[in-house]
Amino acid sequence: MTQLPYYDRPLDSYADHIICHVRQNREGYWRAVLDCGITSSVSDPDFATHGYGATAEEAAERCASAIRQNARGIGKFAPAPVLRDGYDLKFRLMRHWEKKERFETFGRDPNAVVSLALAGAERDQWKLASERWVEWVESTRVIEFEFQLLMAEGFHWIREKDASASDVRESVLEGLRRIFKSDKRAIAGPGDETWGLVEARIDQMLLDHDSSPSFPR
C-alpha cells in the first residue's frame, strides 16, 4: 500500500513521542510539549499544554492526549491555531514530525536529536555568516538538525547497503549545499570556516562509526 505524504496523514497516524518534544529535567522527571519544529520555540505559545511523567513515554502520552483532544475541538478556545487543518499543521509540524520518524527508522532517538539541534548555537560548530543574532541561532539549529539526519541516513546506507565512507561524505556535503541553497529556514549562509569545520566533523564521525556501531553524538 502506498504511504500517504506527510501532509495528507491524519494526526493520529503520528506517535505520541513524535508529535511531542520530550526531555528529562534536572530532577529526573520527563516533560513533553507540542513539537513545532526547530525554528523559534519548540512549544507553541498558543498551545501551552505539557505533560509530565516518571518516564518519557508517560509524559508523551499525557501531552499527546491533550494535543489530540484540542485538535478535535475539545476544550476552551480549541483548536489552537497551530492545530487547525491548515498550512502550519500540514506543512510545518507534519514535515518536522516525518523527519523525526526518519531518525527513528535510522536508529536515532528523534527527541534527543531535537534537543541536540536546539543546543547547536551554544556549541557554534557551524560559524555561519549572519549579522542578526536570531537569524544565526535559528539557521544553526536548522543546519544541525538536517546535518544529523543526513549523517543518520549515511550510516544507515553503510550498514544496510555497504556504502563507502567516501560516498557518504560526499552525499552529506552535497545535501548540505542543497539545504543552504534552497531551505528558506536556513537564512544565514556558510561562513569562511563552515566547510572546513563540517568536513572535519564528518571525517571524525565516520572514524567513530568504524570503531563503534552506535551512532556518534
Q: If phi over 0 gives left and psi between -120 and 50 gives alpha, with beta otherwise, what is residue 52?
A: beta
Task: Tell me what pLDDT residue 29 has.
Answer: 94
Predicted confidence pLDDT, tens digits, the chain (217 residues) = 458 999 999 999 999 999 999 999 988 999 999 999 988 655 566 777 889 999 999 999 999 999 999 999 998 889 999 999 999 999 999 999 999 999 999 999 999 999 999 998 888 899 999 889 888 999 999 999 999 999 999 999 999 988 999 999 999 999 999 999 988 888 899 999 999 999 999 999 999 987 765 544 4
pLDDT at position 48 is: 75
**Where are the domains positioned within the chain?**
1-83, 119-217
Q: pTM of the entire structure? A: 0.91
pLDDT of residue 217: 41
